[in-house]
Chain A
Amino acid sequence: MSHSPLLKFNFTYDDRFGVPLIPVTFFHKNGTRAQLLNNAILDSGAYEITIPKELADLLGLVLRPRSNPVHTAGGRIEACTATIDFVLGRGGRFVHYSNVDICVMEQCPAVLIGIRPLFEDYNITIMAHQHRCILEPKE
């Protein structure tokens, strides 16, 4: 995995949904960029980025079996691993991540941005009362 120089971000999100949301853009396996997903869920309870299988299929990702089982609040479920490129940010301020291993699940209700890699690269403050999350690169 690699990334371009990290930038500080200060994202505000819609308070209707009650969870912190951040903008990400995924790349197809052939290198073309998909459209911006404006509200992926920033989820410190998820180990890694997790996306629905139908999205992984559309992006042309190669799915690999996982060495470890996946446990969710709903119990143990089937999942795969894939490798993806994505950018974090919008409006001309981007950090580009390459070759990131992610989790792909059949029953995935949303796009979840988990601990690896963002919470490892950033000090993240979620200010729920202001509907804002601040991502500050770790030194």
Chain B
Amino acid sequence: MKKKEMKKQGGNWVLLNKKRKILYRSDSVADVYRKGQEYPEGSVIIEQRFEPGTCFF
């Protein structure tokens, strides 16, 4: 996915390759997990990007 498209797409859940390049991002955790299924097991990583200062209670 092109950077421009990703920026437009937004989202705080991301799919990364081993070099930590963002392959996909979405606000939906399920979408990111679903996209992750398209890659061989262990070849990608899922992360959530929190806004700095986000509080979880």
Residues of chain A whose beta carbon lies under 8 Å from any beta carbon of chain B? 16-19, 33-39, 41, 43, 45, 52, 54-55, 57-59, 72-74, 109-112
For residue B45, which residues in chain A have a CB less than 8 angstroms away from its CB? 35-38
Choose among A38, A52, A57, A72 the residue that contacts B47 (Cβ–Cβ < 8 A): A38
Size category of the B interface is 20 to 34
Residues of chain B whose beta carbon lies under 8 Å from any beta carbon of chain A? 15-16, 28-30, 33-34, 36-37, 39, 41-42, 44-48, 50, 52-54, 56-57
Closest 10 pairs between A and B when the two form their complex, measured CB to CB: A73-B57, A35-B36, A54-B30, A58-B30, A17-B50, A38-B47, A38-B45, A37-B46, A55-B29, A36-B45
Q: Are A38 and B30 in contact (CB under 8 A)?
A: no
**A12 CB to nearest B CB, Å:** 14
Can you report 12 A-B residue pairs in the complex whose CB atoms are below 8 A from each other? A17-B54, A18-B52, A18-B53, A34-B33, A34-B36, A35-B15, A35-B44, A36-B46, A37-B48, A39-B48, A45-B57, A54-B30
For residue B41, which residues in chain A have a CB less than 8 angstroms away from its CB? 33, 35
For residue B36, which residues in chain A have a CB less than 8 angstroms away from its CB? 34-35
Q: Are B48 and A111 in contact (CB under 8 A)?
A: yes
**A53 CB to nearest B CB, Å:** 9
**B40 CB to nearest A CB, Å:** 10
For residue A43, which residues in chain B have a CB less than 8 angstroms away from its CB? 56
